[in-house]
Amino acid sequence: MTDTAAGPVRAHEGGPVRAHEQHPAPRRQEMVQLLDEHGVRHRHPEHDLDLTPAELLGLYRDMVLMRRFDSEAEALQRKGQLGLWAGSRGQEASQIGAGRAARRQDQLFPSYRDHGALLSRGVDPLHILSIFRGIDHGGWDPVEMGVHPYTLVIAAQMLPAVGYGMGVQRDGAVGTGDPDRDTAVIAFFGDGATSQGEAAEALNWAAVFNAPVVFFCQNNQWAISEPVSRQSPVPLHRRAEGAGMPGVLVDGNDVLAVLAVVRSALDRARAGGGPTFVESYTFRMGAHTTSDDPTRYRLAAEVDAWREKDPIDRLRTHLTAEGVLDEEFASQLAADSETLAERLRAGVSAMVDPDPVSMFEHAYAEPHPQVLAERDEFLAAWEQQDADSHAAAHGGTR
Amino acid sequence: METMAIGRAINAGLRAAMDRDPRVLLMGEDIGALGGVFRVTDGLQKDFGEDRVIDTPLAEAGIVGTAIGMALRGYRPVCEIQFNGFVYPAFNQITTQLAKLRARSRGRLSVPVVLRIPSGGGIGSVEHHSESPEVLFAHTAGLRVVAPSTPHDAYWMVQQAIASADPVLFLEPERRYWQKGEVDTDLGPGQVTPLHKARVLRPGTDATLVAYGPTTKLALDAAAAAAQDGTELEVVDLRSISPLDVDTVAESVRRTGRLVTVSEAPTFHGPMAELAARIQESCFYSLEAPVKRVGGWHLPYPAARVEEHYLPSVDRVLDAVEQTLAA
């Protein structure tokens, strides 16, 4: 390891066998960074932005609420209220930055961990939790919210994202100069997804057709237990060069940098400039999901090093130093966080299981005789079961 | 009434759909200037432009995946998969995305994509050009799978498939692209057979033959041959693999008491296994003999020089009929 200053501490003697396989961390000057881990603001010649204090506080608030959402969801899973939880701690800057960069008309195609991007769009967090509760596959309206359903098959959302962008092109909603009309698409995916053939097809396709798509890759270093070095021998953003589009490496724990980079990539796409690949260099602080045990495959030291780069801490340090974040805002935010957590607890425990027969409702738009017949078969068996259990209960009291 | 070949009828059907609805667009490999390897899209790019007849990269997952995205934006993409065996790279997009987006979004998303796939063999080609993968997709809930066997059906069914709000796999009988027949292009609403209705093509009394796509003509040929020996076979063209119009077949079987199915798809776990099971459930007391299936063997499609031994033939169909009549 040559660059311990900018990167995580790795290569421990006697550590897990894979720790040494990781890519060298990028140097600070190799990636876009506007706010370093000490909360110090830097200027960038290409990617910069000036935000009002209110906008800065808005980003901070989003990230704090997202983290509270995540910790509450994890707690709900531990209490048996959710079947599974895919945590997002550590990725707040990536997801809030990218989500906030989008305009209302832009369409997001998320993967299954992009809770922050959804929250930034105004998706009800209970709709996200309903997936992990096992109520449905996502209760939000994809058209109204501009957010595609979560996709669990790795990289499978990327080609539909490109196709959506091609539809945008055919609608003439690119390059008109009208900020309310010009539209772009963000495809969210992780480091593991870049290994899929469909990811390669999506990049190539978007470049060939100059589609208005931003490929937003959150490199959180680990695809369950597989390190990013097992996905690619080269830094991920360099895939862009082969695909024929710009590739940008951004500090994924720096919400200002992510916002600036994704915003300019979206602007470029909306103007007709074509796709961009953004690698957001970040870290999944927790487990892949609540079923995972990351201590089996990664070093505590790696996690500790990333804790020093925490996206929320650095923005808080910066905002406090600038006098933007005061005690009043902080205590109100703390109260709002608890209100959110309470709403999540109450909302999840109030969730009712779907009517079983509803599973037959949406397989087809038009009637399908075999599905209708099976629905009738199911209903008959269900009613019989009901009658039997009533009879049994009645018999018991006799 | 016009006379045209099946390939030409599909071309005319696509043209009619594109004329009617500007949201209809075609995507695929070599479908533009070349008009497709079977020339089914001949002339369409010239008339509708490169934005509506899109020559794509050589990537089947890409074709289907981006078609899904265009459908989400309100378009009605019709994808050409160049050959049946080339559909497998798109399997993930078809089964995990195309088939399931409606259910996943509780009906809020609609993906009216049509996949046109040349189906079956008999053209003396090399590997992966002659397969019958329909059962893989019929088994996937959320998809509709249809197979025209005549020019008239090809013309109308492709338009019905495009108009459907559900994703439809449209299986074109590869070795029948040049088979000619009459097409009535002037039918109004209600005069066209519904997309998923089976049709009795030849009435008969001694046994029922059921087929679809490329084997429908074979079934008709077998029935004609049997008639010379005094055996009257009823021929039913399924037209749709999913859903299956079991009622039409059952009605026929109740009259004839016997059923022989004919498909190019392997019989093992094949589409006709499903039909046989359902007929057994609904017609047990009408059946005079076990249902016989004639189809492809449970093998990778063989080399062209032996494909005639793989594909069902008139003789194999008549042997099966003989067995069922003797039972």
Collapsed DSSP state (helix, strand, coil) of residue B166:
coil
Give the Cα-Cα-Cα angle B286, B252, B278 (nearest 5 degrees): 65
Of A160, A170, A366, the CB nearest to B75: A170
User: Residue A73: what pLDDT?
Assistant: 98
Of A149, A151, A166, the CB nearest to B66: A166
Of the residues A131, A157, A186, A201, the best mutation for testing chain B's interface (the one with the most B CB atoms within 10 Å of its CB) is A201
- The answer to whether residue A14 scores a pLDDT higher than 70 is no
What is the per-residue burial (b if ≥16 Cβ within 10 Å, else e) of A214-240? bbbbbbbbbbeeebbebbeeebbbebb
Q: Touching check for B239 and chain A: CB below 8 Å?
A: no
User: Residue A5: what pLDDT?
Assistant: 40
Q: Domain extents for chain B?
A: 2-183, 199-326
The overall average pLDDT reported for chain A is 93
User: Residue A395: what pLDDT?
Assistant: 65
User: Residue A21: what pLDDT?
Assistant: 61
User: Residue A388: what pLDDT?
Assistant: 87
Confidence of residue A390 (pLDDT cuts 50, 70, 90): confident
Q: pLDDT tens digit string along A187-213?
A: 999 999 999 999 999 999 999 999 999
- The domain at B199-326 falls in which architecture? 3-Layer(aba) Sandwich (3.40)
Helices (H) and strands (E) in chain A, counts: 13, 7
Of A161, A363, A366, the CB nearest to B103: A363
* Cβ distance of B72 and A167 shorter than 8 Å: yes
CA distance B57 to chain A (A): 7
Residue A167: closest C-alpha in chain B: B70
Q: Are B45 and B53 in contact (CB under 8 A)?
A: yes
Q: Are B98 and B133 in contact (CB under 8 A)?
A: no
CA distance B220 to chain A (A): 27
**Rounded Cα gap, residues A79 and A290, in angstroms:** 12
Percentages helix, strand, coil for chain B, rounded to the nearest 5? 40, 20, 40
Provide the sign of the torsion angle of the four alpha carbons A73, A78, A84, A86, taken in this order.
Answer: positive
Collapsed DSSP state (helix, strand, coil) of residue B261:
strand
Determine the average pLDDT of the residues in A157-182. 98
- The answer to whether residue A398 scores a pLDDT higher than 60 is no
Q: Touching check for A210 and chain B: CB below 8 Å?
A: no
User: Residue A20: what pLDDT?
Assistant: 46
Confidence of residue A2 (pLDDT cuts 50, 70, 90): very low
Per CATH, B2-183 and B199-326 having the same topology is answered yes
Q: What is the mean pLDDT of each run of 10 residues along chain B (327 residues)?
A: 97 98 98 97 98 98 98 98 96 98 96 98 93 97 98 98 98 97 94 97 98 98 97 98 98 98 97 98 97 97 96 98 95
Q: Are strands B76-80 and B240-242 parallel, antiparallel or unpaired?
A: unpaired
Determine the average pLDDT of the residues in A268-293. 97
A390 is catalytic: no
Q: Check: CATH 3.40.50.970 for B2-183?
A: yes
User: Residue A19: what pLDDT?
Assistant: 46
Of the residues B55, B95, B104, the best mutation for testing chain A's interface (the one with the most A CB atoms within 10 Å of its CB) is B104
- The answer to whether residue A12 scores a pLDDT higher than 80 is no
User: Residue A134: what pLDDT?
Assistant: 95
User: Residue A393: what pLDDT?
Assistant: 78
Nearest to B143 by CA among B106, B99, B96: B99
**Rounded Cα gap, residues A30 and A236, in angstroms:** 13
Lowest model confidence (mean pLDDT) among A24-33, A318-327, B141-150, B185-194:
A24-33
**Rounded Cα gap, residues B233 and B202, in angstroms:** 8
**Rounded Cα gap, residues B91 and A137, in angstroms:** 21
List CB contacts (< 8 A) between A363 and chain B. 102-103, 141-142
Match 């309100």 to its residue by tokens: B74
User: Which long-range contacts link A287-296 to residues 24+ away (Cβ below 8 Å)?
Assistant: A287/A87, A288/A86, A288/A222, A288/A224, A288/A225, A289/A84, A289/A85, A289/A86, A289/A87, A290/A74, A290/A77, A290/A78, A290/A82, A290/A84, A290/A85, A290/A87, A291/A84, A292/A224, A292/A225, A294/A222, A294/A225, A296/A16, A296/A225
* Cβ distance of A366 and B104 shorter than 8 Å: no
Q: pLDDT tens digit string along B46-57?
A: 999 999 999 999
pTM: 0.94
> Which one from A239, A284, A298, A318 is the annotated catalytic residue?
A284
Q: pLDDT tens digit string along A208-231?
A: 999 999 999 999 999 999 999 999
Determine the average pLDDT of the residues in A97-116. 98
Q: pLDDT tens digit string along B268-303?
A: 999 999 999 999 999 999 999 999 999 999 999 999
A150 is catalytic: no
User: Residue A4: what pLDDT?
Assistant: 37
Q: Touching check for A366 and chain B: CB below 8 Å?
A: yes
Percentages helix, strand, coil for chain A, rounded to the nearest 5? 50, 10, 40
Of the residues A147, A170, A359, the best mutation for testing chain B's interface (the one with the most B CB atoms within 10 Å of its CB) is A170
Helices A327-349 and A53-78 cross at an angle (nearest 10°) of 40
> Which one from A133, A288, A298, A318 is the annotated catalytic residue?
A288
Of A166, A197, A371, the CB nearest to B61: A197
A297 is catalytic: yes
- The answer to whether residue A308 scores a pLDDT higher than 90 is yes
Confidence of residue A13 (pLDDT cuts 50, 70, 90): very low
User: Of chain B residues 145-164, which have a CB less than 8 A from chain A?
Assistant: 164
* Cβ distance of A170 and B196 shorter than 8 Å: no
Choice between B288 and A398, residue whose per-residue pLDDT is larger? B288
